[in-house]
Amino acid sequence: MPKKNKTWPLKTPSVAGVIVDGVKSGILKKALLGGADCLEVRVDTFAVREIEALKEGIGKLRKGAGVPLIITVRSGKEGGKHSIPDVRRAEIFKALMPFADIVDIELRSGGILEDVINYAKKNGKGVIVSYHNFKTTPGLDTLNALIKKARSSGADVVKIAAFVRGMEDIRRLASVLTGSDGLIVIAMGKYGASSRIFFPMLGSLLTYGSITDETAPGQLPLKSITGELRRYGFR
């Protein structure tokens, strides 16, 4: 588990309600009623991505939320809905930094990775450095190397999300999770849906639930996740 400090303001495990396609009326109420401990704002899914419009909408969300916000501008290469140039992604991250408690940026973000991480740290924000593979689960050596590289880049928490095709892949991800602290690990796909619930029980710091539409294969509704965690005494 990460050390308790302002860069990781979430309890362990936490459930993020994922906001997609804009800050719509009633979405915050639905997220909080569903038991969200925090909100992930997937800016890459927004149809309107002009800076001033984003600041206005997310600023209002920030004022009413009462829970931490994760700002994510997902790369198109790693599941982003819209393909946004890296330079533009960096501009959006920086513009929205005042509203964020945590930012999530992919390890494979090239030249903007260091810049965004340094800017976040300078402003006292937590940093998730993430890796997503929608085709397969890499081997154990590759996964450990990715985690090491993400930590070296300045991550407070490392997120690994990989597509699984069966029990062997799930066991590999579980092994990575139980072998190290400070991780978010998710098994994607129909065989990995249950990982959204039992990986937090094994130490994954954060799991993600859909409020409206799912943003990854196998993502479960927010209410289903919080209900199952409550059933087994993790809430």
Active site residues: 132, 159
Q: Contact, 222 vs 210, CB < 8 A?
A: yes
Alpha-carbon separation of residue 208 from 39, 75, 148 (angstroms) = 9, 18, 23
* Dist. CA 113–CA 107, nearest whole Å: 7
Residue 220 near residue 26, CB atoms below 8 Å: no
Bond preceding residue 13 cis, omega within 30 of 0: yes
- Angle (CA) 86-163-181 rounded to 5° is 80
| Separation of alpha carbons 32 and 38, rounded Å | 9
- Beta strand 38-42 with 102-106 is unpaired
For the chain, give the longest Cα–Cα distance: 46
Identity of the amino acid at 128: I
What backbone phi and psi angles, to 5 degrees, belong to 58? -75, -30
